[in-house]
Amino acid sequence: MAANVGIVGIGHTIFGNSSEYDLSDVLAYAATDALQDAGYLEKRKEIDQLVVGNMASGLFCHQSAVASSVISRMDMEPVPAELVENGPASGASAVKIGYMAVASGLADVVLVVAGEVMRKVTGWLATDYVATMLHTEAEYNMGLTLPAFGGMFTRMYMEKYGLTERDLALLAVKNHDNGAKNKYAHIQLPCTIEAIADGPEADVVNTYVAEPLRMYSTCPVSDGAAALLLVNMDSPRAQEFKKKPVRIAGVASATDTHCVHNRKDPLKLEAVRIAAEKAYKMAGLSPKDISFAELHDAFSILELAISEEVGFFERGKSFLAVRNGETEINGRLPINTSGGLKSKGHPVGGTGVSQVVELVRQLRGEAEEGRQVKEPKYGMSVNFGGFGNNIVSVICARD
Amino acid sequence: MIDFSVYNATAPTIQGYKCQNCGSIHYPAPMICSKCSKRRDPVTGKGWETFDLEGPCELLTWTRAWNLPEGYSRKYLLFGIVQFENGLRASGQLEVENPESGMKLVAEVEESDERPGDPVSIFVFREK
């Protein structure tokens, strides 16, 4: 029987511009935070495994073998260390691999850290590097980018379900409101619906990125890292930590076609649905049990589409719930309590771990005033790789 | 002066693939047929036919992207996803004044050198 896996330490850098720092230092900073949080800094050489998540250090930083580098910066030799890459879902994949190491009995204590430093290069180059995750001949070569796919997906959804640009702006207002209170967020500023949708200057403030997606419906380019310390809750070593573990109740992933145009219905995110169903099954839960969620809103439309695929709302109805305030902090089902990728930021390879850090902060009751969910029991995250072709979902529980 | 290079010039093409075992068609190139699991050897091509993918198609969705990546000097580009009459779909650039989902277009193949690396064949979707 698989061991119960808990999270006993969390770490997080302030997302934003860390381009003056080395990627390994950014990762090591978050990882050291996690060790301090767990009270395990002095025992770091007793850790059984380091798993690093990163999408494209070779492109963004001209740097390889990042896991080995992090080990040395943290004086952790001879702890084993490996790198996990799964595009923008590298972080959650690193959590999954760390979970598998503990659940299988191969390791009792695993340090997971994931991050990206994207702002050493220009925005044009960053857009190009991120686009390399697309199908080379059938998508990338055409000039397509991730925002372009976000725009085309949004248009399909609008034409089918009646979503408006104002609905997308409401999501930005909600997520910026949460992010403004999050000490780790890239953009710690609220925004108003007047400024980005209703007012006379809205078209200037909130310009198009990939029509009908506007700037406030698109995440920023961020640097940063986040970390978790995992432990076998059934092992005597589970007693060595300062904090009570938050249990990983479910973790699962699924894939879909690389080319978006090859999906039977390009509006359906099958990999999201399958990953979520597997995670619910593993946790013995259903969508109704989830207290709050972190969903991968690299483009605001994805918060809506993912929330439908994981069963929170009927297909094509999620934006009505947003209009009713159901996904706000004090709503029926708070979504993106951290500010989401829109406000907290999106250092591509690091986002999946950052989402789980937010689950732990909320479940511990450690979120800042004004964005703490009331007595949450189960938190769920969905980390989106490619344009929906490799998805990882994690469910954490406060026992 | 005679430019001899023109004698080697060939029109750029993008290929679709037909499995001779089950008749199903694919784009882009598969390594295994999704219908009958027949393997495609990209070196010999044995058991598979290729055909030029172009011509009449319907626009399924589109966008005007303003934040273009490195290499593109234009202010914006239009992109679309289309469905061909044979059921295959493709993504590519769109050159249409007032695009609307559902409109009938023609897919043409051109050479592009805007992305880093060697020139590549791309789809450009235009009005008939």
* 3-state secondary structure (DSSP) of residue A351: helix
Q: Which residues of A touch B69 (CB under 8 A)?
A: 124-125, 127-128, 131, 143, 145
| Cβ atoms within 10 Å, residue A65 | 12
Annotate A149-198 with three-state secondary structure.
HHHHHHHHHHHHHCCCHHHHHHHHHHHHHHHCCCCCCCCCCCCCHHHHHH
Task: Give me the residue from A143, A152, A261 closest to B62, CB to CB.
Answer: A152
| DSSP tally for chain B: helices H, then strands E | 0, 8
Task: Give me the residue from B61, B62, B72 closest to A143, CB to CB.
Answer: B72
The answer to whether A158 and A166 are in contact (CB under 8 A) is: no
Establish if A145 touches chain B: CB-CB under 8 angstroms: yes
- pTM for the full model? 0.97
pLDDT computed for residue B9 by the predictor: 65
Q: Which CATH number fits domain A5-122+221-240: 3.30.70.1520, 3.40.50.1100, 3.40.47.10, 3.30.390.30?
A: 3.40.47.10
pLDDT computed for residue A16 by the predictor: 98
Nearest to A279 by CA among A302, A303, A249: A249
d(CA A241, CA A34): 11
Residue numbers in chain A where pLDDT is lower than 70: none
| Domain assignments of chain A as residue spans, ordered by start | 5-122+221-240
| Cβ atoms within 10 Å, residue A72 | 12
Q: Which residues of A touch B65 (CB under 8 A)?
A: 145, 147-148, 151, 209-211
Which helix (H) or strand (E) segment holds residue A273: the answer is helix A270-283
Radius of gyration for chain A, computed over Cα atoms and rounded to the nearest angstrom = 20
At residue A54, φ and ψ (nearest 5 deg) are -160, 145
A127 with B122: Cβ contact below 8 A: no
The answer to whether A390 and A134 are in contact (CB under 8 A) is: no
pLDDT computed for residue A143 by the predictor: 96
pLDDT computed for residue A285 by the predictor: 98
At residue A380, φ and ψ (nearest 5 deg) are -130, 140
Task: Give me the residue from A128, A141, A153 closest to B120, CB to CB.
Answer: A141
A71-100 confidence digits (pLDDT tens): 999 999 999 999 999 999 999 999 999 999
What is the DSSP track for A379-399?
Answer: EEEEEEETTTTEEEEEEEE--
pLDDT computed for residue B7 by the predictor: 61
Q: Which residues contact A261 (CB under 8 A, 6 or more apart)?
A: A138, B81, B89, B90, B91
Rounded to 10 deg, the angle between the A300-309 and A146-161 helix axes is: 60
Give the ipTM: 0.94
B71 with A159: Cβ contact below 8 A: no
Look at the alpha carbons of A32, A36, A41, A45 in this order and tell me if their dihedral is positive or negative: negative
A331-368 confidence digits (pLDDT tens): 999 999 999 999 999 999 999 999 999 999 999 999 99
B92 with A142: Cβ contact below 8 A: yes
pLDDT computed for residue B116 by the predictor: 81
Per-residue pLDDT of chain B (128 residues; tens, 9 = 90+): 666 666 666 789 999 999 999 999 999 999 999 999 999 999 999 999 999 999 999 999 999 999 898 889 899 999 999 999 999 999 999 999 999 999 999 999 999 999 888 999 999 999 98
Q: Which residues contact B91 (CB under 8 A, 6 or more apart)?
A: A138, A139, A142, A144, A259, A260, A261, B79, B80, B81, B123
pLDDT computed for residue A380 by the predictor: 98
Establish if A159 touches chain B: CB-CB under 8 angstroms: yes
Could you identify the residue written with the tokens 């198609």?
Answer: B57
Task: Give me the residue from B62, B79, B81 closest to A266, CB to CB.
Answer: B81
Establish if B119 touches chain A: CB-CB under 8 angstroms: no
Annotate B33-78 with three-state secondary structure.
CCCCCCECCCCCCCCEEEEECCEEEEEEEEEEECCCCCCCCCCCEE
